[in-house]
Structure formats: C-alpha cells, structure tokens
Amino acid sequence: MKFIRTEIPEVVICEPKVFEDHRGYFFESFSKKLLEEFVGHKLHFCQDNESKSSYGVLRGLHFQKPPFTQAKLVRVIEGKILDVAVDVRQGSPTFGNYFSIELSSENKKQLFVPRGFAHGFVVLSSTAVFSYKCDNYYSPEHDSGVLYNDQELTIDWKIPEQDLILSEKDLKQPSFKYMKNFDFQNNLYA
C-alpha cells in the first residue's frame, strides 16, 4: 500500500498494490497498522457503509459534530465518482480549502478523510457502488453539513449543474459562512 499526502496534509490518498493475471486481480484494500503508522494516530473503524447511486447523484457535504466526529476511508467498488473533502476545522491553516479526486473501480484508489472534514461525492459514471469505513457510529443528533454549491468553497463537481441529483436534506444544508465548526486546537482523536 502506498500513501500520498495531498495539499491538505491530513487528507491521504491510499493506492493499493494490485496483483493482476489471467484469473483477475487481488489487492489488500485495508491495513490498520500501515494506515495508523502513516497518519500518526490510532484509528478505530467500527462501521462500514455502502451506497449505490446513478449518474449525477451528489451526496454531501456531510460531517458529524463532536463528540461524534468521524474519519472515513472511502473507495469505489464499481463505477467512478468525484470525491471531495472540505476542511471545516476553525483555526486550521487549510480551513475552507477542499481536496477532490476521482475514485474508480479502475484506479482502485482510496481516500482517507480525517475527522474535522465535510465529505461528499458525485457519481460520474452511469452507476457507482461506493463503500466507506467510519471510525465512529452514526448519530442523527450530531449530523451536519455544508451546502454543496457554496460560493465560498467554489467546488468544481465536474458535471453540469442541471445534471445534479440531490436529496432535500442536501439542498437545504447551511452555507459555509454560518458554520459553527470544529476547533482545530482540540485533539479530534483523543
């Protein structure tokens, strides 16, 4: 497994070593030990989620408020998506910045999205199966988000606005300027 820091250093691209032959392929999709060594702290993934969506479906931007913040390790099993992580940690040197990457069943890349980040994705292929590990349980009372097309963030979702399909919840998320965000000084992994 190869780990690559992005321009937001806490957000990490994970590239597995894929072994292919005439039978198909094999790769190690997760190593707790290796990822913990790279990010520099313990991870306690406790919940796996999976969704299937069609072209244009945009899910996000979501996060959970303390004490139920979540880190995620995300990947695509089938299809192709644009994955986005937005830094919502007040006081962070990259506060309000985002990182985006295409994840697909072809490139087999994964993205580690740490606590303190809003996360979302849009489907670029006809359908996509998306899978992710969470290091904290879902808590509806702590569920929050940021509006996907917020003017401060200026995220390029790579598909025309008229092709986007969003839930009512995601259409009504607050704008970034009204966020009561995480304090960067607090240890999100205590």
For 6-61, how does the pLDDT look when each residue is reduced to its tens digit (9 = 90+)?
999 999 999 999 999 999 999 999 999 999 999 999 999 999 999 999 999 999 99
Q: In this model, does residue 120 exceed pLDDT 60? A: yes
Instruction: Read off the pLDDT band of 139 (50, 70, 90).
Output: very high
Count of domains for the chain: 1
Nearest residue to 141 via CA among 49, 65, 33, 38: 65
What is the span of the domain harbouring residue 154?
Answer: 45-183
Which residues form the catalytic set? 62, 132
pTM: 0.93
**Cα–Cα distance, 83 to 119 (Å, whole number):** 8
**Cα–Cα distance, 43 to 65 (Å, whole number):** 18
For 49-88, how does the pLDDT look when each residue is reduced to its tens digit (9 = 90+)?
999 999 999 999 999 988 899 999 999 999 999 999 999 9
Mean pLDDT of the region 137-146: 94
Kindly state whether residue 11 falls inside one of the protein's structural domains: no
Query: Residue 89 belongs to a domain with what CATH number?
Result: 2.60.120.10
